[in-house]
Structure 1
Amino acid sequence: MRLGVLDVGSNSAQLRVVDLIPDLPPETVRVVKHLVRLAEATDRHGVISQIAVDRLVHAVRQAAAAAQGADAEELIAFATSAIRDAPNGGEIIAEIQAATDVTLRFMDGEVEARLTFLAARGWCGWSAGPLLLADIGGGSMELAYGPGRYPEIALSLPLGAARLTRHHLPHQVPVKKKHRRALHDHVHSVVAHAVTELEKRPRPITAVATSKTFAQLARLCGAPKAKKGLHARRILHRDDLDEYIPELARRTDAERAELRGVKSSRAHQILAGAIVAHATMEVLKLNSLTICPWAIREGVMLHRLENQPVPPEPMASPAKRFVSAVGRSPLRTEPDQHPPRHLQAVPAKGPV
């Protein structure tokens, strides 16, 4: 089947249209990415500005048109913590629905962790053994652990890079050591409290990280460029972060964007991301993390492939149907059961 997956995050809205074939990795047909910059348009109370909402509406409209243009049979559209945690999140969803006929659903944090783990397991395979996953987003950080296809432990913590930049770091540069230490201690405390159950489990054989934040930090610290391909081995070492955190703290956003691997759209929050990564690795006693190129979108694709829903009613548009990720309950982890389907088919309203 040909599937479109639209992921609305704190910085961008990205569509990937892929062909899903059993026993093969998703084959990309088309990628469309729009910067929506929700994080920088969010005030200290979490409210997203109307200017950013307008950007998002445009991005969703363009993504839906691109999915139809690529002959996608379904479109799974979901938002993570950037909209999920916003006080005006419900109003944003309603505005998008009215303007585009696309139903954008919230992805629950625990479900997000489970699906990202599924993607990492799909990439790493069974030889990775018990797997530990970390993913730093704009609003939250997900951690997951387990020996199976789905994790035994899945956590979502309010430790996203954009959120912590907004609430814990001053606007002035350089960012003083006392502010960096205070944020480090905060992250250390939250993670240490959350992973008490994880500490009772066997040590992971493989520890991986997903997300743009981790990927850019790894590149900053010397990992291969993106043009080297998905299979190039990229590792983030905790000791390297010790070196680069003071460097990031000394620089303005524009100066950070001049550093290797740091994109201008994420320069504002990369310092917080680096501190979260370092503190988390410290708590988990990890000297390094291997960067996994598959993340939440690939997890949604794999989950969709193994959980084919009942076909919907006939539609006005003969060749298209659209579905939305709803994540109403945590995915089950029993080895003899598939996780319950979290995709809800809805009729398309016709051409966008």
Structure 2
Amino acid sequence: MRLGVLDVGSNTVHLLVVDAHPGARPLPAHSHKAELRLAQLLDESGAIDSVGVDKLIAVVQEALEAAEDKGVEDLLPFATSAVREASNADDVLARVRAETGVELQVLTGAEEARLTFLAARRWFGWSAGKLLVLDIGGGSLEIAYGIDEEPDAAASLPLGAGRLTAGWLPNDPADPGDIRALRRHVRAQIARTVGEFSRFGAPDHVVATSKTFRQLARIAGAARSADGLYVQRELKRRSLEDWVPRLAAMTTAERAELPGVSEGRANQLLAGAIVAAGAMDLFGVETLEICPWALREGVILRTLDQMATP
């Protein structure tokens, strides 16, 4: 059957269409995305402003039309931290439902972490042993650890690249004092969670998902996305730490010229690198592997599992 996953994230609204059935890997058939940056459209009260809601409704409608054109039989719509944490979330969800007919399921941070972990576990398999999974989104950082398909520990921290850029790095290029303050904030937040994970012992394999980690791996020398899903891509902490001061010295336009860095994400790359470096350091990770599957695939896999259950 043909499934569509509509992911209303902090940076983008992304429709992923796949051909899938229980027991088989989902095969991508179509991708439709729009840069919305909801995390940066919050007003002083923490609400998504009326312009932002209008834009969200418009892109959801576009995604619905694309899903119909591609023959999607079942649509799985969900929203993450930007909607979840908006002070007017209920009103936003009601307007989307009234004007598009789409009932967005708002995932908790822990659900995001668990579903992303499921996707990584299915990608790497049981032979990967105990997995530590890191994911940097626009609004939050998800961390999950475990040996089964359900993680033993999962956490979501408000350390997304978009959120931190908007709140801590207003200048272009970034002010050195702002960078130091952000680095202290990020490491203090992550350090509070390390004990929750370390009691389970060292992981056998550390993986990362998300556009931020893929871009950081690419500028550090990993293979291009055009080389395919099955090429192994790694990010080493030493390489990342070398890149952080270089990114800090660049303007957004200069970062956009780096290999694999999109113009729309270039302004967030420094904040994302600071979070990635902090997480790798505090969790004692020297090298991690990039996982092509993430939250959207986790949603698909969980849905297929439920369909296969009598």
Q: Is the 8 A contact 1:175 1:250 kept in 2?
A: no
Q: Secondary structure at the match of 1:156?
A: strand
Partner deviation per Cα, 1:137-163 (whole Å, 9 max, x = no partner): 111110000000110111111111111
Q: Distance in 1 between matches of 2:117 and 2:7?
A: 16
Cα distance change of structure 1 residues 272 and 174 upon mapping to structure 2, 3 Å threshold: closer
1:101-116 → structure 2 map (5 Å cutoff): 101-116=101-116
C-alpha displacement at 1:108, in angstroms?
A: 0.7
Q: Secondary structure at the match of 1:7?
A: strand
Q: Secondary structure at the match of 1:155?
A: strand
Q: For the aligned residues, what is the CA RMSD?
A: 1.7
Q: Is the 8 A contact 1:44 1:167 kept in 2?
A: no
Match of 1:258 in 2: 257
Q: Secondary structure at the match of 2:159?
A: coil
**Structure 1 position 273 matched with structure 2 position 272:** yes
Match of 1:152 in 2: 152
C-alpha displacement at 1:122, in angstroms?
A: 0.6
Letter in 1 for 2:255: R
Moved more, 196-205 or 115-124: 196-205
Q: Secondary structure at the match of 2:120?
A: helix
Letter in 2 for 1:268: N
Stretches of structure 2 lacking an aligned partner (at least 5 in a row): none
Q: Is the 8 A contact 2:5 2:17 kept in 1?
A: yes
Q: Distance in 2 between matches of 1:187 and 1:64?
A: 37
Q: Secondary structure at the match of 2:13?
A: strand
Cα distance change of structure 1 residues 54 and 310 upon mapping to structure 2, 3 Å threshold: farther
Partner deviation per Cα, 1:178-200 (whole Å, 9 max, x = no partner): 33232222221211111212111
Length-normalised TM-score, structure 1: 0.84
Match of 1:46 in 2: 46
Q: Secondary structure at the match of 2:195?
A: coil
Match of 2:67 in 1: 67
Moved more, 148-157 or 30-39: 30-39
C-alpha displacement at 1:263, in angstroms?
A: 1.1
**Structure 1 position 143 matched with structure 2 position 150:** no
C-alpha displacement at 1:114, in angstroms?
A: 0.3
Match of 2:201 in 1: 202
**Structure 1 position 192 matched with structure 2 position 197:** no
Letter in 2 for 1:211: S
Cα distance change of structure 1 residues 13 and 174 upon mapping to structure 2, 3 Å threshold: closer
Cα distance change of structure 1 residues 174 and 193 upon mapping to structure 2, 3 Å threshold: closer
C-alpha displacement at 1:36, in angstroms?
A: 1.6
Q: Is the 8 A contact 1:32 1:66 kept in 2?
A: yes
C-alpha displacement at 1:309, in angstroms?
A: 8.8
C-alpha displacement at 1:43, in angstroms?
A: 4.1
C-alpha displacement at 1:174, in angstroms?
A: 4.2
Q: Distance in 2 between matches of 1:249 and 1:6?
A: 34
C-alpha displacement at 1:131, in angstroms?
A: 0.4
Match of 2:121 in 1: 121
Moved more, 132-141 or 188-197: 188-197
Q: Distance in 2 between matches of 1:16 and 1:290?
A: 23
Moved more, 52-61 or 136-145: 52-61
Moved more, 17-26 or 291-300: 17-26
Q: Is the 8 A contact 1:11 1:265 kept in 2?
A: no
Letter in 2 for 1:46: G
Q: Secondary structure at the match of 1:307?
A: helix
Partner deviation per Cα, 1:290-344 (whole Å, 9 max, x = no partner): 1000000000011001112999xxxxxxxxxxxxxxxxxxxxxxxxxxxxxxxxx
Cα distance change of structure 1 residues 232 and 310 upon mapping to structure 2, 3 Å threshold: closer
C-alpha displacement at 1:45, in angstroms?
A: 4.5
Task: Say which structure is richer in helix.
Answer: 2
Match of 1:56 in 2: 56
Q: Secondary structure at the match of 1:304?
A: helix
**Structure 1 position 283 matched with structure 2 position 282:** yes
C-alpha displacement at 1:245, in angstroms?
A: 1.3
Match of 1:344 in 2: none
Q: Secondary structure at the match of 2:71?
A: coil
Letter in 1 for 2:227: K
C-alpha displacement at 1:89, in angstroms?
A: 2.1
**Structure 1 position 24 matched with structure 2 position 24:** yes
Alignment coverage as a number of residue pairs: 310
Q: Distance in 1 between matches of 2:41 and 2:98?
A: 22
Cα distance change of structure 1 residues 193 and 310 upon mapping to structure 2, 3 Å threshold: closer
Q: Is the 8 A contact 1:44 1:166 kept in 2?
A: no
Q: Is the 8 A contact 2:140 2:158 kept in 1?
A: yes
